Amino acid sequence: MPQIAVIPGSFDPVTNGHLDVIRRAAGIFDEVHVLVVHNPDKQAMIPIARRVELIETALGTTRNIVVRSWSVGLLVDYCTDVGARVIVKGVRNTADLEYEQPMAIVNRHLGKIETVFMMPNPEHAHVSSSLVRQVASLGGDVAPYVPEVVRDFLQGDMAPGLNL
Ligand code: PNS
């Protein structure tokens, strides 16, 4: 039976830290589903469909990674639908762990889905989507933190229409 992992998140936008975790997870699991999920607790900047496209372009051709969105129910329902028993999340620090821990416990209760935490590569440990949004909104160069396609998107013609 193929071991499938789901990597959920807002990815608003995807960062080099996310990509590092996604690629490393793809080296461990047979199949990785990157799932762009609407988080009602956060005000989104980029439309979900565009976030999916940005991740796909940043990853390029991959053997065992699919990128999808999910907005119709519990994350564990998606996991069960595709036969995934594991959620993968990156944790950069204790604040991340505190944020992730209740979700991991609830997801295990709701759907018997285990969450596996991966440490970031230290060079990405300070990078977050919110930091990228703030730097971009103030006209700074986000090139060190995001793939080229995201930088171009944030600094291109679409930028004035975004909720920066
Ligand atoms: O990148 P984020 O915003 O921290 O990701 C949080 C996310 C989207 C993974 C989380 O909010 C989530 O899983 N939402 C789906 C709804 C759900 O299943 N909620 C109950 C378990 S937390």
Over residues 46-78, the pLDDT tens digits come to 999 999 999 999 999 999 999 999 988 999 999
**pLDDT higher than threshold 70 for residue 161:** no
Nearest CA to ligand 1 atom 3: 10
pTM: 0.95
Q: Which amino acid is at 133?
A: R
Tell me how far the alpha carbon of residue 152 lies from the centroid of ligand 1, in angstroms.
27
Residue 74, ligand 1, Cβ within 6 A: yes
Q: Which is the closest atom of ligand 1 to the Cα of 38?
A: 8
| pLDDT value of residue 105 | 98
Provide the strand spans (E) within 20-80: 31-37, 65-70
* Number of Cβ atoms within 10 Å of the Cβ of 102: 9
In the residue annotation, 130 being an active-site residue is answered as: no
Is the four-CA dihedral 89, 91, 97, 99 of positive or negative sign?
negative
Sequence-distant (6+) residues with CB within 8 A of 88 are 5, 6, 7, 21, 25, 29, 32, 115, 116, 117, 118
Distance CA 164, CA 156 (A): 13
Nearest CA to ligand 1 atom 5: 9
Express each pLDDT in 132-154 by its tens digit.
999 998 999 999 999 999 999 99
